[in-house]
Amino acid sequence: MTSILAPLVRGICIDAAKTSRIVIPGEGPAPQNALTIDLESAFEKDNKGGEAFSEEGAAKILHEAYASWEFEISPSGAERTETVKKQPSSIVLKRGAQTLAIFWIDRDLDTARNRRKNRDDTLLEEQVLQKSGEASLFQALSAVGRSGVMANRVAVVTGGAQGFGEQISRGLASSGALVFIADLNLSGAEALAEKINDSVGRTAAIAAEADVTSEDSMEHLFTFIAEHSGGLDLCVSNAGILQAGSVMEQKLDAFELTTKVNYVGYFITAKHASRLLRLQHLAAPQWKTDIIQINSKSGLEGSNKNSAYAGSKFGSLGLTASFALELVDYNIKVNSICPGNFFDGPLWADPEKGLFVQYLNAGKVAGARTVADVKAYYEGRIPMKRGCEGPDVMRAIYYLVEQEYETGQALPVTGGQVMLH
Ligand SMILES: NC(=O)c1ccc[n+]([C@@H]2O[C@H](COP(=O)([O-])OP(=O)(O)OC[C@H]3O[C@@H](n4cnc5c(N)ncnc54)[C@H](O)[C@@H]3O)[C@@H](O)[C@H]2O)c1
């Protein structure tokens, strides 16, 4: 139940504050200043004599109760003309006399955890912008400091333990987000989360074991996220593998595995991410959220002897456009980023299994005698003469999150290697 109620509560708080919130479950007696809401009438009889919980009904009750609470603390509407907006820092959900859940609310995870620990239920206060002139100035400035769009937001990165996923996890954490590093490699995700938290001096990263090819695993991941932060603002579907091979030689197993991780895995990720985002949307209809798939330049042009990979990436662009059409109704934007080659990441640079070593040994680059020769050859094919790096992808992520008026797109980040067709 917590994984359903937490996103609804997060949605209500976001809707009122117009900014991100962390919502975590608590225990014990109801805090004194808590906003208490009875959800009894959200439990409806179904036609089989049983009972069903109406998420829409619950969202409506939450909205009404929140509006009454706001009116009580500011009956004259003075709140709207003040520069500080107040919010409850705890919400108790009941069904009649039974307590269904207690939630603690704050801007970031550590502060919310401290509130819960100290049972500090003083009201949350937020500075609000006043005149429309100030609001447009704020918007113009935010385009300059674009990474600010992720401050205090919640993100998940699949395949976040290494490579591009690591770069994205680090980038999001350093721009103030709470990031769930979801990876098949749990120990890698944990080690990275620890490094990130040490370097930013707060709980900015949480590791979670996840296999994007398993429906159970992904369902569990998004429940875990709802229970640990209340919800989500950005899902980066990054996990992907590459198994190259000639169409005449490649084993079916290899083709199917690539398709399963890169294409089916994206579907499963988007399916469970959007279910959580939809719940939040019920309570915060204006709040925009994002699903961003890390695609590839191989999703925009063929890749020689690499058809399983390119096929999975081309197909994923069809998923992106189709998910976008459906999920726009829930204010969820869905876009793909198509990066060029990340030469400094493990896929290319691993000294034993990396593509540079493989291509050197296979004699793929005529005249190349060292790994550096192979790298120089590939860099030379890029108009901007270097590979794609983490910050290049991060800029694309910030752009897509900040850009409210775009969905269903594939954004190339290739140093000019893939241009308009
Ligand atoms: N490296 C590049 O040059 C490049 C270029 C363009 C696009 N991309 C794309 O970027 C994404 C990341 O690639 P990378 O090169 O950084 O990869 P990588 O191999 O360095 O890291 C991939 C991560 O995904 C995890 N992973 C693998 N299978 C998983 C699964 N089933 N469930 C959850 N996690 C899983 C791995 O444990 C690993 O941590 C991929 O989608 C890839 O197609 C990579």
> What CATH number has the domain bearing residue 275?
3.40.50.720
Q: Which residues pair with residue 289 across a beta bridge?
A: 332
Residue 138: inside a domain = no
Which residue of the set 85, 288, 297, 313 is catalytic? 313
Distance separating alpha carbons of residues 84 and 268, to the nearest angstrom: 41
pLDDT at res. 187: 98
Q: Are residues 38 and 163 in the same domain?
A: no
Q: Are residues 65 and 213 in the same domain?
A: no
Taking alpha carbons only, the member of 176, 306, 201 closest to residue 243 is 306
Q: Are residues 57 and 100 in the same domain?
A: yes
Residue 336: inside a domain = yes
Ligand 1 in reach of 307 Cβ (< 6 A)? no
Asked whether 26 and 227 are in contact (CB, 8 A), the reply is no
Mark whether 313 is an active-site residue.
yes
Q: Are residues 212 and 293 in the same domain?
A: yes
Ligand 1 atom at minimum distance from 261 CA: 31
Q: Are residues 218 and 284 in the same domain?
A: yes
Q: Are residues 164 and 70 in the same domain?
A: no
Of 128, 162, 181, the position where a domain reaches its end is 128
- Quick check: 265 pLDDT over 70? yes
Please count the structural domains in the chain.
Answer: 2
Residue 221: inside a domain = yes
Q: Are residues 89 and 186 in the same domain?
A: no
In this prediction the pTM is 0.91
Sign of CA dihedral 360, 363, 364, 365: positive
pLDDT tens digit sequence for 142-185 = 445 677 899 999 999 999 999 999 999 999 999 999 999 999 99
Q: Are residues 185 and 286 in the same domain?
A: yes
Which tokens go with 261?
A: 């991780």
Residue 287: inside a domain = yes
Q: Are residues 264 and 399 in the same domain?
A: yes
Q: pLDDT category, 141, cuts 50, 70, 90?
A: very low
pLDDT at res. 137: 47
3-state secondary structure of 218: helix
Ligand 1 in reach of 342 Cβ (< 6 A)? yes
Residue 360: inside a domain = no
Task: Give the pairing type, strands 154-158 and 234-237.
Answer: parallel
Enumerate the H helices of 201-264 as residue ranges: 215-229, 252-259
**Cα-to-centroid distance, 168 and ligand 1 (Å):** 12
**Cα-to-centroid distance, 13 and ligand 1 (Å):** 35
Q: Are residues 156 and 26 in the same domain?
A: no
Distance from chain centroid for Cα 421: 30
**Cα-to-centroid distance, 315 and ligand 1 (Å):** 17
Residue range of the domain that includes 114: 2-128
pLDDT tens digit sequence for 195-253 = 999 999 999 999 999 999 999 999 999 999 999 999 999 999 999 999 888 999 999 99
Mark whether 89 is an active-site residue.
no
3-state secondary structure of 70: helix
Three-class SS of 340-401: CCCCCCHHHHCCCCCHHHHHHHCCCCCCCCCHHHHHHHHHHCCCCCCCCCHHHHHHHHHHHH
Q: Are residues 36 and 71 in the same domain?
A: yes
Q: pLDDT category, 78, cuts 50, 70, 90?
A: low
Which tokens go with 374?
A: 């192979």
Average pLDDT, the chain: 93
∠412-416-421 over CA atoms, to 5°? 70
Q: Are residues 63 and 204 in the same domain?
A: no
**Cα-to-centroid distance, 210 and ligand 1 (Å):** 13
